[in-house]
Structure 1
Amino acid sequence: MHSFGLSARRQALMVAVVCTAMLAACGKKPQQNMGDMKVPVSVITVQPMRTDVYAQLPGRVEAIKDAQIRARVSGIVTDINFKQGSEVKDGQLLFTIDPAPYRAVRDQAAAQLKRAQADAQSARLLAQRYAKLIDARAVSRQDYDNAMSASAQAQAAVAAAKATLQSAEIDLGYTKVVSPISGRIGKSLVTEGALVSATSATQLATVQQIDRVYVDLTRSTTELAQLRKALASGVLEQTPGGAAKVHVLLEDGSRYSEEGQLLFSGITVDPTTGQVNLRAEFANKNEILLPGMYVRVQLQQGIDEKALLVPQQAVQRTADGRSSLMLVKDGKATPSPVTVGAEIDGKYIITSGLAAGDVVVVEGFQKIRPGAAVQGMPWKEPGQPGAGAPAGGGQPASAQPGAAKPDAAKPEAAKPAAGDGANSAAKP
């Protein structure tokens, strides 16, 4: 009985020693290989290319025509003759103001004109008779002069009566409120039965023409000075014909399909902001750009014949806020501070700190540190065949350092060791 217990203790001790040795061997194996492994990263080789350089500026959309419909006579609104939010034509009837008082004024002015015309006819006939009698000295010169003056005054009264009638007809016409332009009308600001005033020019509605729109921009004088310097030094070339291209970036980041035309660039600097105003015009047949919308505008500056472009995600920010790139030199990751220029289609122009032929890391930053050994693999832009692979060079998880391979990761110690007596120790 004593010998059986001693044998069981020896077997248990042997199992413990073997397991400890195997675990130690498993722990040392990765440490021996880590120093020899290179971390896979996605890279690009930078080459100079001819690029249109754009400046990105904030802009605000304005309707090309914006008409405020206001009351020009006072009265009660009797009819609203349009559908709110619809397209209206130039001259289309929008509102009707009670015309009865203005029709009465018009009729009164017409009657006064007829009276003035009758008085003028009588005065003219009297003057004609006196003109015949003056030669026969049948009337005095004073009476003749008075008759001629009365005839002239009567003609003036007729002209005044005609002007009064015309004014009355204009006011009567203002009771029919029509659209001065073609465009889209907004909501009605008054309802039937509302009292509108010509004195305060009550606003009734707004009509905006937006088949073409303006985009108003602002730009700092510092940026203008830098642009002039770049053109003068030859860093940038003037665009052919001198006509700058203008593009709009919508709120979701997509580019508006229509290219705009720069109308003017202001020459007066706003003293409060230190900026100048610019205006561009865009076609807007589908009414995608709406008045008041905030947009970003890409304004062409010139052409850079040797631009160095890198994807936005390749640019990193240091603790002090500066920009840097991770380059691959002699097989190792090397940080390089750079100066970032304009953004073009998801890429940055690097103006300093980068040279043609440099290899730039685009994906895999989370697995490397400065000085780490890396293995560069070509980076594929999103949308290209094979794009969308995991960061780190597109390798599957089993190929990445420290990742476990299926089945092979299971240590042999997990299997029963032959001849170690484990099976016999487990039996009662």
Structure 2
Amino acid sequence: MITRTLPIRPTLLAATALLALSACKRNAPKAGQMPPQGVGVVTLHPSAVDIRTSLPGRTNAFEIAEVRPQVTGVIEKRLFVEGSDVIVGQQLYQIDASRYKATFDSAQGQLDQARARAVTASAQARRYRELVRTHAVSNQDYDNAVAAEKEALGQVMTARGQVESAQVDLAYTKMYAPITGRISRTITTVGALVTANQTQNLAIITRLDPIYVDVNLPAITLLRLRRELADGRIKPQPDGKVPVTVTMEDGTTFGQIGRMALAEVNVDTSTSTVVVRAIMPNPDKLLLPGMYVHAQLDEGTDPNALLVPQEAVSRNTHGDPQVWIVGADNTVSLRQVTLGQAMGSSWVVLSGLANGDRVVVSGVQKIRAGMKVAPQETPAPSDQTGASTAPASPAADKNGQ
């Protein structure tokens, strides 16, 4: 009996291939299942941030005095250089004083005459006072002498008032600088006739050191700052003052540091802003009234600020800011937040986020709520150290600015 042996090698190879194919089918992803979407995230941690607000404004003079004549006359001298600095009490003009000198001399003479009559009347009243006791003169004569004395004293007072008035007018012929500052050009020359209380000024003196910087602060920002100071979120400056620095229109930083002086108590109904005034030292007279500047107010320090990158913030149909959050199970969800000021390329988060939250900063176009993602940590922006800020407010955030 002849037995045939089948070849074993091809049979084993086929069986092995079948087993491998079956294993691959079991390990392969189900139809339609995609791997987790990769996203870049930033983990939020609190940090100390200097709170600053930068606002446009205008410079205004600290003091302005219009030089106008208070007596009528012809200008004899101009005693200053146009555009120069003058000091308080410095004589600026000399008006012809001859008429006022004559009036003063006449008033002085009348005063001397009145004083002489008063001496005579007083002496007669004293004599009659002794004589009436011995009945050498009548009571009527004594009463007339007393009345004459009082009349003479009244004439002295009247004459003295006329002298003082003439003296004031004479003094007004010399026009002095009422304040220290820089004097403007003059349109009135020597020989011109000026009149008392005229509406046209002869020159204007402007005090340039210090100088005011007036900015319009949104009322909602002022409310936020006061609330955060009251809640202890912002630590004020040690001296309680608000330092102010100025950037001029050409982009250069003014070398002096001022301070906030006051905030108006009334809100402008047309702009919903409050005028905030700062006082800036201006020893070199570099700032002039009317200049356009940017004032930066150093309000204090937020020791526990959370900063979220601006690219992580999107907005819903109502304009409210929102961010994507990666949960502990790597599932993403959308969360609304409240933003404060802009800090470079980041926003200060007022509410909605907490320490340790992972915020999606890249890949947001391919994710949806409830999706599993593969988060990859992204370095936080360098400006999160709290070095500088740009103007912003919750109201500005809603407008997408």
Same topology, TM > 0.5: yes
Conserved? CA contact 1:46–1:360, under 8 Å:
no
Alignment CA distance shift 1:113-1:241 (3 Å): closer
Of 99-108 and 45-54, more deviation after overlay is shown by: 45-54
CA distance in 2, matches of 1:348, 1:128: 95
Which 5+ residue runs of structure 2 have no aligned equivalent? 1-41, 327-334, 367-376, 383-401
Q: Specify the code of the residue in structure 2 equivalent to 1:156.
A: G
CA distance in 2, matches of 1:173, 1:348: 65
1:373-412 alignment, distance < 5 Å: none
1:249 aligns with 247
Alignment CA distance shift 1:350-1:181 (3 Å): same
How many residues matched?
322
CA distance in 1, matches of 2:204, 2:308: 48
Conserved? CA contact 1:110–1:165, under 8 Å:
yes
CA distance in 1, matches of 2:314, 2:82: 51
User: Which of 277, 280, 293 is residue 279 of structure 1 equivalent to?
Assistant: 277
2:398 aligns with none
2:59 aligns with 61
1:108 aligns with 106
1:95 aligns with 93
CA displacement, residues 329-379 of structure 1 (integer Å, 9 cap, x when unaligned):
9xxxxxx999875355x5553538998887979xxxxxx9978xxxx9999
1:305 paired to 2:267: no
Give the TM-score taking structure 2 as reference length.
0.67
Q: Specify the code of the residue in structure 1 equivalent to 2:341.
A: A
CA displacement, residues 197-228 of structure 1 (integer Å, 9 cap, x when unaligned):
21335411111222211222332322222334
User: Which of 65, 76, 79 is residue 77 of structure 2 equivalent to?
Assistant: 79
CA displacement, residues 81-127 of structure 1 (integer Å, 9 cap, x when unaligned):
10011111221110111111111111111111111112112212222
CA distance in 1, matches of 2:135, 2:364: 126
User: Which of 210, 217, 222 is residue 220 of structure 2 equivalent to?
Assistant: 222
- Identical residues among aligned pairs (%): 38
Return the offset for 1:153.
1.0
Conserved? CA contact 1:46–1:359, under 8 Å:
no
2:195 aligns with 197
Return the offset for 1:273.
4.2
Alignment CA distance shift 1:228-1:131 (3 Å): closer
User: Which of 142, 158, 162 is residue 160 of structure 2 equivalent to?
Assistant: 162
CA distance in 2, matches of 1:171, 1:310: 71
CA displacement, residues 135-157 of structure 1 (integer Å, 9 cap, x when unaligned):
23222111111111101111111
Give the TM-score taking structure 1 as reference length.
0.63
1:258 aligns with 256
- The DSSP-based 3-state class of the residue aligned with 1:296 is strand
- The DSSP-based 3-state class of the residue aligned with 1:242 is coil
Q: Specify the code of the residue in structure 2 equivalent to 1:120.
A: A
CA distance in 2, matches of 1:83, 1:337: 65
Which 5+ residue runs of structure 1 have no aligned equivalent? 1-43, 330-335, 362-367, 382-428
